[in-house]
DNA sequence: TTTATTTTTGAATCATTATTCAATTATGGT
DNA sequence: ACCATAATTGAATAATGATTCAAAAATAAA
C-alpha cells in the first residue's frame, strides 16, 4: 500500500486561510487553495467534504483554541477580575499577531458561516463569550465593575469593537500597531471616553 | 411611446434589501429579487448594471443619509459635545428601527463591498466617521472627553460595537430592545465598565 | 385607430467553478 | 521484482445562476 505524503489536511487548511483572507470566501477557488497547498484540486475533496467544510473547520479549530484559553483564564484562582479581563484581551491579540490572515478570515467570514451554519456558530460564539462574562460577573460581585452592566449587551459590544479593530488593522496594518489597539481597548472598555 | 409603470428602480432596491437581508448577498438570486419587486428578471438589468451595482446603490444611499445627518449634528452650534454624541447614537438607531432589513444588509455586506469596491467604501466610511470624530475633538477641547483618546482607534471601536449589536439585534430582535441597546452603548462608551 | 417609440418580459445563453472519478503513481509487504 | 492497496491527480462533468436579447406589450402622439 501507499502512505500519505505529509499533512495534506493541515496544508489545505493553512492554504485556505491565506486564500480566504486575500480574496474572501466566495471569490476563493478550490483550485487556488489546492495550488497554494501544493496539492491537486481533487485532493481537497479527499480531506474535506466541500468548500464550506473547509471554512467550518477553520472556525472550529479557532473557537476551540479561543474557548480553552478563555476558560483557563476565567476559572483561574490567582488573578483579580480586572487582570483576567486584561489577559483575555491580550490572548486574542497575541493569537492574531501570530496569524494576521486568520484574523482576516475570522472577522470577515463569520457572516457566511452564520447563514449556513447558524446554530453551530452561535453555540461556539456563546460558549466563548460566556467565559468572558463569567469574569465580568466576578468583578461585579467584588465591586470592580459596575453592577448596572447589561451583560447580554456588553458581550456583543466588546466583541464587536475588537472584531472591527482587528479587521481594520488586518486590512491596513501600517495604520496601527496591534499593541496600541490592545491598550486602547482596555482603557476604553474600562473607563470610557469621558474626562 | 410608453411610460414607466412606476418606480421600478425603487421597488427593486427595496426588494433587494429584503432579499439580501434574508439570504445574504451571495445566496440572493436576481430572479428572487425580481419576484419580490414584482418585475421580470430582465427588468433588473434595465435599472442596474449588475447584481453588484444594486448593493452599491443601497450603500450609497445609506451613507449619503447617514453622512448628512451626522454632519448636521456635528456642525450645529446649539448642543454640547456630549449631547451631540448622544444624538448621533440616537440617529443611527432610529434609522435602523425603521428598517431592520437595512440594518442587516448594512452590517453584513460591508465585507463584500470592501473586497470589490474598497476605495469607494472606505471613502464613505471615513467621511461618516470623521463627523463623529469632529464632535469628539470638540469635547476634548472643552474638557468633556479625555485628551488621551486615540481617535484613529476610537472611531473603529465605537463603530464596531454598534455594528455588532445591531447585527445581533436584527438576527434575534426579541433578545433585546433597541432602546436598551442604545442606552447601554451611550453609557459604556462614556463611562466604561468600572464601578 | 394606427403608428412609433419605449418599457417590460422571461426563456435561452453563457460563464464560472464546485465536484467527481477513472487513471496514475507511490508505498510497503511478500 | 511484483503485487495489493491506498493516495493522488487533474481533466471532464454538472450545476448554478448572472446576464442577454428578441419578442411582446403598453402608451402617447398623430
Cell 475633538 sits on residue: B137
| Predicted confidence (pLDDT) at residue A76 exceeds the cutoff of 80 | yes
| Predicted confidence (pLDDT) at residue A48 exceeds the cutoff of 80 | yes
Chain D bases having any atom below 7 Å from a protein CB: 4-12, 17-22, 25-29
**How close is the nearest chain A Cα to the Cα of B173, in Å?**
13
**Mean pLDDT of the A27-56 span:** 96
Report the pLDDT value the prediction gives residue B111, as an integer from 0 to 100.
84
Q: List pLDDT tens digits, range B54-83.
A: 999 999 999 999 999 999 999 999 999 999
Percent of chain A at pLDDT above 90?
Answer: 85
Q: List pLDDT tens digits, range A156-195.
A: 999 999 999 999 998 889 999 999 999 999 999 999 999 9
Q: CATH for B1-48?
A: 1.10.10.60
Say whether A195 and B144 touch across the interface (CB within 8 A): yes
Report the pLDDT value the prediction gives residue A110, as an integer from 0 to 100.
87
Chain A residue with Cα closest to B137: A193
First-last CA distance in chain A: 71
In the CATH scheme, what architecture does the domain A55-191 have? Orthogonal Bundle (1.10)
Nearest protein residue to nucleotide C8 (CA to C1' distance) is B43
Cα gap B126→A168, rounded to integer Å = 12
Q: pLDDT-based confidence at A3, cuts 50/70/90?
A: confident
Distance B3 CA to C1 C1' (A): 20
| Predicted confidence (pLDDT) at residue B31 exceeds the cutoff of 90 | yes
Closest CA to A61 of A87, A95, A35: A95
Report the pLDDT value the prediction gives residue A50, as an integer from 0 to 100.
96
**Mean pLDDT of the B150-158 span:** 97
Q: pLDDT-based confidence at A40, cuts 50/70/90?
A: very high
Chain B residue with Cα closest to A146: B195
Nearest protein residue to nucleotide C3 (CA to C1' distance) is B1
Closest CA to A167 of B192, B150, B114, B21: B114
Say whether B24 and A115 touch across the interface (CB within 8 A): yes
Q: pLDDT-based confidence at B166, cuts 50/70/90?
A: very high
Report the pLDDT value the prediction gives residue A18, as an integer from 0 to 100.
97
Rounded to 10 deg, the angle between the A151-171 and A81-98 helix axes is 30
Cα gap A39→B97, rounded to integer Å = 49
Phi-psi region of A143 (alpha: psi -120 to 50; beta: other; left: phi over 0): left
Report the pLDDT value the prediction gives residue B187, as an integer from 0 to 100.
97
**Mean pLDDT of the A80-106 span:** 94
Report the pLDDT value the prediction gives residue B85, as an integer from 0 to 100.
97
A163 vs B112, B148, B160: nearest CB: B160
- Contact criterion met (CB below 8 Å) for A95 and A162: no
For the domain made up of B56-191, give the CATH fold: Tetracycline Repressor; domain 2 (1.10.357)
- Counting Cβ atoms within 10 Å, is residue B147 exposed (0-12), middle (13-18) or buried (19+)? exposed
- Beta-carbon contacts of residue A112 (< 8 Å; ≥ 6 apart): A25, A26, A55, B24, B26
**Mean pLDDT of the A34-62 span:** 96
- Output the nine-digit C-alpha cell for A158: 466588546
A165 vs B156, B176, B193: nearest CB: B156
Report the pLDDT value the prediction gives residue A2, as an integer from 0 to 100.
75
Smallest CA–C1' separation from A5: which nucleotide? D7
Q: Tell me which DSSP letter residue B173 carries.
A: G
SS3 A178: helix
| Predicted confidence (pLDDT) at residue B157 exceeds the cutoff of 80 | yes
Longest dimension (CA), chain A: 71
Q: pLDDT-based confidence at A118, cuts 50/70/90?
A: confident
- Contact criterion met (CB below 8 Å) for B135 and B74: yes
What is the number of other CB atoms lying within 10 angstroms of the CB of residue B74? Answer: 22
A111 vs B111, B158, B161: nearest CB: B111
Cα gap A55→A113, rounded to integer Å = 8
**Residue ranges covered by each domain of chain B:** 1-48, 56-191
Distance A4 CA to C23 C1' (A): 19
Say whether A164 and B159 touch across the interface (CB within 8 A): yes
DSSP B80-96: -HHHHHHHHHHHHHHHH
Tell me the pLDDT of chain A averaged across its residues. 94
- Contact criterion met (CB below 8 Å) for B124 and B70: no
Task: List CB contacts (< 8 A) between A145 and chain B.
Answer: 193-195
Rounded to 10 deg, the angle between the A81-98 and A51-75 helix axes is 150
Q: List pLDDT tens digits, range B109-150.
A: 988 898 888 888 999 999 999 999 999 999 999 999 999 999
Report the pLDDT value the prediction gives residue A180, as an integer from 0 to 100.
96
Task: List CB contacts (< 8 A) between B185 and chain A.
Answer: 153, 157
Report the pLDDT value the prediction gives residue A53, as an integer from 0 to 100.
96
**How close is the nearest chain A Cα to the Cα of B136, in Å?**
9
Q: pLDDT-based confidence at B6, cuts 50/70/90?
A: confident
- Output the nine-digit C-alpha cell for A31: 483550485
Q: List pLDDT tens digits, range B172-192.
A: 899 999 999 999 999 999 999
Sign of the CA dihedral running B52, B58, B64, B67: negative
A27 vs B115, B145, B167: nearest CB: B115
**How close is the nearest chain A Cα to the Cα of B146, in Å?**
4
- Contact criterion met (CB below 8 Å) for A37 and A15: yes
First-last CA distance in chain B: 71
Amino acid at each position: 500500500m501507499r502512505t500519505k505524503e505529509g499533512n495534506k489536511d493541515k496544508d489545505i487548511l493553512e492554504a485556505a486561510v491565506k486564500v480566504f483572507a486575500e480574496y474572501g470566501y466566495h471569490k476563493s477557488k478550490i483550485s487556488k487553495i489546492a495550488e497554494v497547498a501544493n496539492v491537486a484540486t481533487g485532493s481537497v475533496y479527499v480531506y474535506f467534504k466541500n468548500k464550506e467544510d473547509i471554512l467550518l473547520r477553520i472556525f472550529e479549530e479557532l473557537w476551540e483554541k479561543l474557548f480553552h484559553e478563555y476558560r483557563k483564564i476565567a476559572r483561574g484562582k490567582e488573578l483579580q477580575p480586572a487582570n483576567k479581563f486584561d489577559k483575555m484581551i491580550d490572548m486574542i491579540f497575541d493569537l492574531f499577531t501570530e496569524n494576521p490572515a486568520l484574523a482576516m478570515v475570522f472577522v470577515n467570514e463569520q457572516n457566511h458561516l452564520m447563514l449556513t451554519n447558524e446554530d453551530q456558530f452561535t453555540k461556539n460564539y456563546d460558549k466563548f463569550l460566556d467565559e468572558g462574562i463569567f469574569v465580568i460577573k466576578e468583578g461585579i460581585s467584588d465591586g470592580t465593575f459596575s453592577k448596572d452592566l447589561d451583560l447580554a449587551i456588553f458581550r456583543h459590544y466588546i466583541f464587536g469593537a475588537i472584531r472591527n479593530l482587528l479587521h481594520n488593522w488586518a486590512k491596513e496594518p501600517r495604520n496601527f500597531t496591534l499593541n496600541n489597539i490592545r491598550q486602547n481597548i482596555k482603557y476604553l472598555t474600562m473607563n470610557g471616553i469621558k474626562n
